[in-house]
Structure 1
């Protein structure tokens, strides 16, 4: 009875256990940036499709290479003569006389045939065997390029969400300060120390801050949706990002003295692989002057009889082996033009590689210039934030003491609000530009 109870309990809990497992497989408990990237590389539809393309490439290669193996085929046929064939033979009783027309053969024929062929040289099969490694590499490089793009897209989308969340947090703090200032202005108005102007200004600033918060909240939902799209994350599942601003500030450092290495860029690697495949294509067309050669062997069972019921009562087997040589001698200069076309494609790819090098240099120069500019702006905004915070706190105390006007407090509040937004915006712009530099250098880690 105890064993039965355990089994029943397992059956009851099994659906919930499976559901919990499904949730674990499709959601993130801790959505840090590395975890989001890792999730995207596993679930992003474009990456999954690219990996399927790798499998398709592998099956195509194996399909082509299968032609190197012996090919064994079994065929069988049956035929019935409605009108018997006629052969003409000399009259052996009268050799000088006219020849005689004689019906030959039987009504029913059946010929099962077992055929074995082996390719010895064929340029199609030779091309498949020599380019298999490069074709596999090309498929993997396509997946790698997709992973790099997904990593960059997820990182930037992640930073966009964080920027919007920080903007909302800044607006929340601004609303708290303005609400406190509004109460101070209202109390001073009631006590006759100030007129309605300060109170109205405080109300206007508070309303503007609340409107900004609402707009940022709406924008946050859109940016979350975009991040989920880049990750391949279920739209209906919640995604709570986990981050440390202090740690992110420490990640802004970058060695700006690094030099461009073309070999590190996946685009350059793809062009190199394409170059090798085009070189193989040139050889493939040159091989068209070499004859194809194959070996074959056939075993035939011939059944023949005038009566269908006795057709398979006796067989007349035969078998033979041989070699087949196919050598096209003249094709109207077609082979020459194919070789020329293959060489031109190879030459064109060399020009594309040169153009890619120039593009990589330009991308790196632009990305590095943007990064350095954003780095300078970040340090400026960080200093401005400290200054604006000190100014606001000082003026707030002086206003309460009746030394400063409320207009000066509002200006200081606006400056603090602006510098806070500028600081976080510069931080995430800097992190995004760092991604562009790493991508330009070919060092973006995924």
Structure 2
């Protein structure tokens, strides 16, 4: 029966360890087709910079607990054993008689409790600000990841749209080449038209290859900032109509520097440095602790009889340590800490100016990209109408093939410019929200 119980216990332990290992090794998964939101959420879980910020937050929490642990009672034990080869003269209980003690041992328990200590007080006062700083630092990393992933996602989408436009243009060029060649065979035109069509088609084939390779490079960068294994294949899912709706943002919003995480970090740093000033300002105060000890002393001439009799002793009291003169070290540190605060004040002012400049630039970029997008959207419709009319007129012999090439080039350029302006607008919207401090971490 005992063996059965032992086997059950061993199996339970093995299953528990296996489940822990499985939980630790389970990797974050991602579908092959991803949206912008999915890519952002995956990056927030797996991007190394975000993970490092989270680990820094945990390390800081351990540092805080280490500092605050000094407020708790400190208990230590000690033990001593000495053998005197020539003996140790010890006064015996009989007056006038000296006996030689060969063996000595003591066991003790010491305890102390801090009542006031400047170092421990600083650890207590800085705990909340320190937690806030590392929490804000993690949020800053997350905001940067949201911005970087969004822009990289849009960059890949832009190249994919460009590739689609090039493929559509190649179909038109192939039709034009066929028409030009048939007209040449019919003797209506000379061979210049279909040779020009061949040149245009070859150029488009080369451009398609270049664009296709650029997509691979941009996808690799997107995987990198997402924290995704480069071996994983992903396809981006998007809806142009949805992105057109999401391109709008209220440009009448007022800038508030307090919304910027960079500014919040500086203010938290300043609070920590002000506490450092207080630490050196009150560094002349004494340290006070309650102390106590309990000891057992053993004496004998033979080791075998050493621990038969014990002589106990105990005490309790207060321990006071007062710094009298430290060679002006405290005053110098105090002056240095004050200068450090003044320097941070200048960082705060500079940050306000920088944030305002970033906002003005981001707002100007968004407004110009928005106007550009609206104009280029009209150009696409116009270029499609022109190409359809010119292509029909060429087949009827009214227009030359040069007119067809120009119309095709205008249509392709207008479509490329339109999508380029759309994704530039989306990227500038990200910059504007980041400058306003309203870019949400989803």
TM-score by length of 1: 0.90
Separation in structure 2 between the aligned mates of residue 348 and residue 314 of structure 1, nearest angstrom: 66
Alignment of 1:394-405 (within 5 A): 394-405=389-400
Separation in structure 1 between the aligned mates of residue 332 and residue 60 of structure 2, nearest angstrom: 29
Deviation at 1:36, TM superposition (A): 0.8
Deviation at 1:321, TM superposition (A): 0.6
Root-mean-square deviation (CA, aligned residues, Å) is 1.9
- The Cα offsets for residues 280-321 of structure 1, whole Å up to 9 and x where unpaired, read as 111111121110000111000111111111111111110101
Alignment of 1:302-381 (within 5 A): 302-381=297-376
Separation in structure 1 between the aligned mates of residue 83 and residue 266 of structure 2, nearest angstrom: 61
Pair 1:80-2:83 in alignment: yes
Runs of 5+ consecutive residues of structure 2 not aligned to the other structure: 1-21
Deviation at 1:329, TM superposition (A): 1.0
Which residue of 288, 291, 298 corresponds with 2:286?
291
Separation in structure 2 between the aligned mates of residue 87 and residue 158 of structure 1, nearest angstrom: 86
Pair 1:68-2:71 in alignment: yes
Structure 1 consecutive aligned stretches of length 4 or more whose deviation exceeds 6 Å = none
Matched residue of 1:278: which SS? helix
Separation in structure 2 between the aligned mates of residue 117 and residue 335 of structure 1, nearest angstrom: 26
Deviation at 1:72, TM superposition (A): 1.1
Alignment-derived partner of residue 425 in structure 2: 430
Separation in structure 1 between the aligned mates of residue 90 and residue 334 of structure 2, nearest angstrom: 51
Q: Is the 8 A contact 1:84 1:103 kept in 2?
A: no
Q: Is the 8 A contact 1:80 1:109 kept in 2?
A: yes
1:104–1:392 distance in 2 versus 1, CA, 3 Å: farther
Alignment of 1:255-294 (within 5 A): 255-294=250-289
Pair 1:114-2:117 in alignment: no
Runs of 5+ consecutive residues of structure 1 not aligned to the other structure: 1-17, 94-101
Deviation at 1:82, TM superposition (A): 2.5
- The Cα offsets for residues 181-200 of structure 1, whole Å up to 9 and x where unpaired, read as 10000100000111100000
Alignment-derived partner of residue 410 in structure 2: 415
Pair 1:231-2:196 in alignment: no
- The Cα offsets for residues 350-384 of structure 1, whole Å up to 9 and x where unpaired, read as 11100000000111111111111111111121111
Separation in structure 2 between the aligned mates of residue 109 and residue 22 of structure 1, nearest angstrom: 59
Separation in structure 1 between the aligned mates of residue 367 and residue 129 of structure 2, nearest angstrom: 39
Separation in structure 2 between the aligned mates of residue 286 and residue 240 of structure 1, nearest angstrom: 60
Matched residue of 2:351: which SS? helix
Q: Is the 8 A contact 2:32 2:233 kept in 1?
A: no
Alignment-derived partner of residue 5 in structure 1: none
Separation in structure 2 between the aligned mates of residue 421 and residue 324 of structure 1, nearest angstrom: 80
Separation in structure 2 between the aligned mates of residue 392 and residue 196 of structure 1, nearest angstrom: 22
Separation in structure 1 between the aligned mates of residue 87 and residue 361 of structure 2, nearest angstrom: 86
Of 330-339 and 180-189, more deviation after overlay is shown by 330-339
Separation in structure 2 between the aligned mates of residue 22 and residue 314 of structure 1, nearest angstrom: 61
Separation in structure 1 between the aligned mates of residue 343 and residue 369 of structure 2, nearest angstrom: 39
- The Cα offsets for residues 329-358 of structure 1, whole Å up to 9 and x where unpaired, read as 111222111111111111111111000000
Deviation at 1:232, TM superposition (A): 0.7
Alignment-derived partner of residue 37 in structure 1: 40
TM-score by length of 2: 0.91
Deviation at 1:441, TM superposition (A): 0.7
1:105–1:209 distance in 2 versus 1, CA, 3 Å: farther
